[in-house]
């Protein structure tokens, strides 16, 4: 007889996606658990104890296992003769409870892992009956005992005593029932228990952020914090969230990027700065977009965008290697499933990417810059592309072209529809490889009209020193040599204001203070921005940005659920 995570003892959650038992059945189970807690109180025992620091120190479950690493045999099982009966005091959540005659096996989990508790009626005496009468799956208990190995070679703690630390009133869902995506996102606290791989992804995220910090700290960068509430819209072309400061009676905007404040610090002499910044953009939801997200931005004086391309390759490889060291088994699984490789990075000018895409599709060069009012050329181009098996979104491409006000905007639009969707197909590991994986692609040299903060290229004022990196077809980061000419920046800001006056929503305001800062002199500088959420998705193979954000934005929960 036994119970485990997913046994019939529990009624699943009432939220969408839980198992079929109704709300009444769950309420009955909750009432039974509350009655057990009341019984403990009658014995003057607290079902929500807080005296865990008294007595022998608690040993986390991974450390307990580590003490007996040398007791494993060739098959990875523990040799009972080599496991010394060392005293241990452990604690964790009950995931599994199984009784075999006068012995019960309890599986506990803490933040570090899992370990089995071996409960013998001959040792525990009267307390043994309480194990099944008062302890439920999901409860958090502590136990004292000695290390041992079972006949099957499972490392265990032979309990001499145990007690309840926290009573779980609500039963945990089953592993198979708690799969509804919205229910998992809404009740992440349950998701982390029911779906262990979810917890692994979020541990990976923490390690990724730590590795980023180590990388930049090791390069002499200074981590800083800049304001999250701005008086004007700046740093990126996006629609902001608005808020209001009551005392100052001032409208403020939640930051869409920390860029302009970080560059002010470069002016002030902080020549290498970075921030892991929470940012907010009032945009739609998708598998790659959440209105609240985390951005890494850094700025380096006396560097160019080419410097940052080299540094980006080193950074990504370093972070991936760090992740492999702390989560070797999980990383091996993720790496095996990857359709891309960090082995080699490709650098392609935007104009060349468009040229290559048109050539592979058998399309004429004028597709990139000209869309006629009538549909005849569009239909001809679409037919030609279809024959080459290129799935181009011609309708939106044409609609996008008609919104463009300049040659540079048309070039960028052509790139977005004709080249970007096919980067994974166009840039592969061959020659020199088997072509089974896509290569990361730096798209470089953007039109200046779509890059209001980037420095124009020497010798070609229609382009800027900018790159975006695409890995597995997804944009990961954006960087450029910074514009430090205050007069040029003044003109770019004014152009943004003109676009806003014509109805464009995703534009920046004129930032007079930033122009003034540039007038004090900013050294030649390159800047970089990357979504930490997207990097986590990439390295862990997550399909949606919501899978790497602990509490993503959701619609309000329906009443009664």
The pLDDT score that the predictor gives to residue 393 is 87
- 271 a known binding residue? no
In sequence order, what DSSP letters do the residues of 423-462 get, joined into one string? HHHHSBS-SSS-S-SBPPEEEEEEEGGG-TTBPEETTEEE
Task: Enumerate the domain spans of the chain.
Answer: 34-166, 176-340+521-556, 341-471
The pLDDT score that the predictor gives to residue 470 is 97
Positions of the chain with pLDDT lower than 70, given as ranges: 1-23, 175-176, 369-376, 386-389, 431-434, 559-561
For the stretch 23-29, contacts whose Cβ atoms lie closer than 8 Å and that sit 24 or more positions apart, written own/partner, are 26/170, 26/171, 29/171
CB-based contacts of 24, cutoff 8 Å, min separation 6? none
- How far separated are the first and last CA of the chain, in Å rounded? 33
Please tell me the distance from the alpha carbon of residue 241 to that of residue 239, in angstroms, as a whole number: 7
Query: Per-residue pLDDT tens for 490-524?
Result: 998 888 888 888 877 778 788 999 999 999 999 99
| CA dist 236 → 167, 274, 334, 370, 406 (Å) | 49, 17, 32, 28, 19
The pLDDT score that the predictor gives to residue 534 is 96
Among 61, 32, 45, 62, smallest CA distance to 143 is for 61
Given this structure, which CATH class describes domain 34-166?
A: mainly beta
Please tell me the distance from the alpha carbon of residue 310 to that of residue 104, in angstroms, as a whole number: 58
| CA dist 419 → 111, 323, 424, 482, 556 (Å) | 45, 32, 10, 26, 39
- CB of 228 within 8 A of CB of 255? yes
The pLDDT score that the predictor gives to residue 23 is 66
Please tell me the distance from the alpha carbon of residue 517 to that of residue 513, in angstroms, as a whole number: 6
Q: Which tokens belong to 387?
A: 């024959």
- 475 a known binding residue? yes
Number of H helices, E strands in the chain: 18, 18
Write the DSSP symbol of residue 335: H
The pLDDT score that the predictor gives to residue 301 is 98
In sequence order, what DSSP letters do the residues of 247-289 get, joined into one string? TTTEEEEE-S-SHHHHHHHHHTT--EEEEEEEEE-----BTTB
State pTM to two decimals: 0.89
Query: Per-residue pLDDT tens for 320-367?
Result: 999 999 999 999 999 999 999 999 999 999 999 999 888 887 788 877
The CATH number of domain 176-340+521-556, selected from 3.30.930.10, 3.30.910.20, 3.40.30.10, 3.20.20.210: 3.30.930.10
In percent, the amount of the chain with pLDDT more than 70 equals 92
Query: Per-residue pLDDT tens for 232-264?
Result: 888 777 888 999 999 999 999 999 999 999 999
The pLDDT score that the predictor gives to residue 432 is 52
Q: Which tokens belong to 301?
A: 């004086």
The pLDDT score that the predictor gives to residue 434 is 67
The pLDDT score that the predictor gives to residue 13 is 39
Please tell me the distance from the alpha carbon of residue 339 to that of residue 320, in angstroms, as a whole number: 15
Among 134, 91, 100, smallest CA distance to 119 is for 100
Length of the chain: 561
Please tell me the distance from the alpha carbon of residue 397 to that of residue 400, in angstroms, as a whole number: 5
Please tell me the distance from the alpha carbon of residue 398 to that of residue 414, in angstroms, as a whole number: 9
- CB of 168 within 8 A of CB of 144? no
């Amino acid at each position: 007889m036994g119970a485990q995570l997913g046994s019939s003892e529990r009624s699943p959650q009432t939220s969408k996606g839980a198992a079929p038992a109704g709300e009444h059945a769950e309420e009955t189970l909750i009432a039974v658990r509350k009655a057990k807690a009341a019984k403990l109180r009658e014995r003057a025992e607290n079902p929500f104890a807080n005296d865990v620091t008294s007595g022998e120190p608690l040993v986390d479950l991974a450390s307990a296992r580590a003490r007996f690493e040398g007791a494993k045999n060739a098959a990875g099982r523990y040799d009972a003769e080599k496991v010394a009966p060392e005293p241990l005091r452990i604690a964790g959540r009950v995931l599994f409870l199984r009784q075999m005659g006068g012995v019960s096996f309890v599986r506990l989990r803490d933040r570090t892992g899992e370990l089995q508790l071996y409960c013998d009626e001959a040792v525990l005496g009267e307390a043994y009956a309480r194990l099944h009468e008062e302890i439920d799956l999901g409860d958090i208990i502590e136990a004292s005992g000695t290390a041992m190995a079972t006949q099957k070679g499972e490392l265990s703690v032979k309990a001499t005593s145990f007690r309840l630390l926290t009573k779980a009133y609500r039963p945990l869902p089953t592993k198979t029932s708690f799969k509804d995506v919205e229910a998992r996102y809404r009740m992440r606290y349950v998701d982390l228990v029911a779906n262990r791989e979810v917890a692994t992804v979020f541990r990976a995220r923490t390690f990724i952020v730590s590795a980023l910090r180590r990388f930049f700290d090791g390069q002499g960068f200074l981590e800083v914090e800049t304001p999250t509430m701005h008086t004007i819209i700046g740093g990126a072309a996006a629609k902001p969230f608005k808020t209001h400061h009551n005392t100052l009676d001032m409208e403020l905007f939640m930051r869409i990027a920390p860029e302009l404040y970080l560059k002010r610090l470069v002016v002030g002499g902080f020549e290498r700065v970075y921030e892991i910044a929470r940012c907010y953009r009032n945009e739609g939801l998708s598998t790659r977009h959440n209105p609240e997200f985390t951005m890494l931005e850094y700025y380096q004086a006396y560097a160019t965008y080419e410097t940052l391309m080299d540094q980006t390759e080193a950074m990504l490889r370093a972070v991936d290697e760090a992740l492999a060291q702390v989560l070797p088994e999980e990383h091996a699984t993720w790496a095996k499933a990857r359709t891309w490789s960090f082995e080699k990075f490709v650098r392609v000018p935007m104009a060349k990417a468009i040229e290559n895409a048109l050539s592979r599709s058998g399309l004429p060069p004028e597709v990139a810059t000209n869309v006629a009012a009538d549909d005849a050329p569009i239909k001809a181009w679409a037919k030609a592309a279809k024959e080459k098996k290129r799935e181009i979104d011609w309708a939106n491409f044409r609609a996008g072209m008609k919104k463009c006000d300049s040659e540079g905007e048309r070039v960028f639009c052509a790139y977005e529809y004709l080249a970007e969707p096919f980067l994974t197909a166009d840039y592969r590991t061959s020659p020199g490889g088997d072509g089974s994986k896509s290569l990361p692609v730096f798209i470089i040299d953007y039109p200046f009209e779509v890059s209001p903060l980037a420095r124009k290229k020497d010798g070609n004022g229609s382009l800027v020193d900018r790159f975006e990196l695409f890995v597995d077809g997804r944009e990961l980061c954006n960087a450029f040599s910074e514009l430090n000419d205050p007069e040029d920046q003044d003109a770019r800001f004014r152009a943004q204001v003109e676009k806003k006056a014509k109805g464009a929503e995703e534009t920046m305001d004129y930032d007079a203070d930033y122009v003034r800062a540039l007038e004090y002199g900013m050294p030649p500088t390159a800047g970089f921005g990357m979504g930490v959420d997207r990097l986590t998705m990439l390295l862990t193979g997550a399909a949606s940005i919501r899978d790497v954000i602990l509490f993503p934005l959701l619609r309000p929960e329906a009443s009664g659920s």
